[in-house]
Amino acid sequence: MRHVFRNRVLVPLQAQLTQGVSPSRLALALTLGLVIGVVPVLGVTTGLCAAVAVALRLNQPAIQLANYAAYPAQLVLFVPAFQAGARLFGRPALTFSLAQLQSELAADPIGTVGRYLGDNLRALAAWGLVAPVAGLGLYLLLRLVLSRLPLPGEADPLAPPG
């Protein structure tokens, strides 16, 4: 039984936790988790991050951790993304709050999604213009920082010898 548990649970879990832990791969996972985490569509970021991590063979726990860490920023940037999308396409500014949208979604989810679909697509377009630039800067910064940290199993270059 112990052999089955080790091979079916522990070995795959260890592989998942250590997959893509080079500084550049870990920086990519964290960057994508943060950038995807602020997509102006509520309720889709976990699935998107999971799919991207599988497709690019990135560290799943790292990308999801970054995604969840980005959730407060997603909420803060949600309405501004809609406003930026409206400006980008020469549409009138939207006058709604996140609380109003949440109450509309609770009362009529399908109707609310339909009512705001065009606005949401414009918000996604605005995000799509900003995300690559912000993501590149974030990736370069994280890669620099992570390349200076010891990875699991590596000796700490700052630790005293012996």
What is the arithmetic mean of pLDDT over 133-158?
78
Share of the chain above pLDDT 90, in %: 59
Q: pLDDT tens digits for 72-83?
A: 999 999 999 999
**Residue 17 and residue 58: Cα distance in Å, rounded?**
10
Cα 98 to Cα 27, 60, 104, distances in angstroms: 31, 29, 10
* pLDDT for position 157: 45
* pLDDT for position 139: 97
Whether the CB-CB separation of 157 and 150 falls below 8 Å is answered with yes
Share of the chain above pLDDT 70, in %: 85
**Residue 66 and residue 35: Cα distance in Å, rounded?**
9
Whether the CB-CB separation of 63 and 33 falls below 8 Å is answered with yes
**Residue 100 and residue 109: Cα distance in Å, rounded?**
13
The alpha carbon of residue 125 and the mean position of all alpha carbons in its chain are separated, in whole angstroms, by 17
* pLDDT for position 160: 53
What is the arithmetic mean of pLDDT over 113-139?
95
Residue 158 clears pLDDT 50, i.e. is over it:
no
- The DSSP string of 45-58 is HHHHHHHHHHHHT-
